[in-house]
Structure 1
Amino acid sequence: MITPAGLLPNVNALQAKITPAEATETFASYLKTAIDGVAAQEQNVHKVNDQFLIGEVDENKVILAATQAELSLSLTAQVRNKVIEAYQEIMRMQI
């Protein structure tokens, strides 16, 4: 879900080729993919929990799945908070 910094494309090269509308669409697509990943992890927790209840998996897998989903949700909340802070900062700028 997260790209290591060394693998990010050159931002200056991208700015020359992408229009603002395309950049917005790309960012929206990235966010949708990330949120879909969090939702998939939540579904996985429910599935693993059900499997645990019928004795198909051990408690370690349940704890691992729950922790991964919790971390993903926490990261998503932090990204949301940073986006909101950036938006508020832009709105405070004087033109």
Structure 2
Amino acid sequence: MFTSLNAATAYSAARTAVAPGQPGPAVQALSNAAEDFAAQMGKVDQVATGAMTGQVETHRLVQTIAEAEVALETVVAIRDKVVEAYQEILRMPV
């Protein structure tokens, strides 16, 4: 016989099975990379502002922009790989 108590117990058991857990190492690494990228872009903004006000040398500005360009190319490459993997998943037969 199916009672409301049985239903509540089953619901409680199923709820823990679908609850989000701790992120895996890949998710944590991606999160750290995103934070590093944001910090790099913030650094570029600060150096560019300093260069406009004369507080930072031009050489330092060029170096920071080059570092930001490498970071941006890396982020774009990662994004392209994620989109490619997603498209591959969509092409899989169900």
TM-score (normalizing by structure 2): 0.68
Work out which of the two has the higher radius of gyration on C-alpha atoms and give 1 or 2: 2
Residues 1:60 and 1:38: Cα distance change in structure 2 (over 3 Å): same
CA positional deviation for 1:30: 1.0
Separation in 2 of the partners of 1:65 and 1:53?
Answer: 14
Number of paired residues? 75
Please give the per-residue CA displacement for 1:1-42, whole angstroms capped at 9, x wherever unaligned: xxxxxxxxxxxxxxxxxxxx8896321111111111111111
For structure 1, the residue ranges without an aligned partner over 5 or more in a row are: 1-20
* Structure showing greater relative contact order (alpha-carbon pairs closer than 8 Å, 6 or more residues apart): 1
What amino acid maps onto 2:56 in structure 1? V
Partner of 2:48: 49
Root-mean-square deviation (Å):
2.1
CA distance 1:74–1:30, shift in 2 (3 Å)? same
| Structure 1 residues 46 and 82, CA gap change in structure 2 (3 angstroms) | same
Q: Matches of 1:71 and 1:22 in 2, distance apart?
A: 34
The 4+ residue runs of structure 1 with deviation greater than 6 A are none
| Counterpart position of 1:76 | 75
5+ unaligned residues in a row in structure 2: which ranges? Answer: 1-19
The percentage of counterpart residues that share the same residue type is 31
Distance, in Å, in 2 between the alignment partners of 1:41 and 1:75 is 12
* TM-score calculated relative to the size of structure 1: 0.67
Deviation string, structure 1 residues 50-87 (Cα, Å, up to 9, x no partner): 22122222111101111111211111011111111012
